[in-house]
Copies of this chain bind each other. A is one copy, B any other.
Amino acid sequence: MNIKDASELTHVPAKTIRYYEDIGLIVPQRGPNGYRVFSDSDVNKLGFIGRARALGFTIEDCRTLVSLWEDDRRESADVKRIAEDHLEAIDAKIAALHEIRETLDDLVHRCAGDHRPNCPILESIGKEQS
């Protein structure tokens, strides 16, 4: 199958598929016309990558996960470690965002949002924090 069909089946944009080939994540065959030819296994792999990316794994993580996925002699501990590290990173990100969110929410609530220049948001950003 050609790139468009692979793209539609996996919900990975064609541009992105080409990019994944560029960085060696997938290596589809080529037809006599130079077109990429995607096998079922290519499509599966692409779907796997797409779902791993949707879970926020980095490309490098995806590379590792794919190779573990394809390795019959993998140890699930290796997979779990990657997932746990990622989970920790996500928790950290959520915590950071949450803190920002609280500050911002407070500022927004304190700002009149009218035609006058007085603004607690700017005042707060403008002065050094304790």
Contact = CB atoms under 8 A, between A and B. Distances in A.
A97 B90 CA distance: 7
Interface residues of A, number: 53
B101 A87 contact: yes
B75 A121 contact: no
Contact of A97 (B93, B113, B114, B126): B93
Nearest to A104: B87
Contacts of A37: none
Contacts of A125: 48, 51-52, 55, 65, 69
A103 B55 contact: yes
A27 interface: no
B76 A104 contact: no
Interface string A96-130: 01101101110110011111111101100110110
A121 B90 contact: no
B48 A126 contact: yes
A127 B83 CA distance: 17
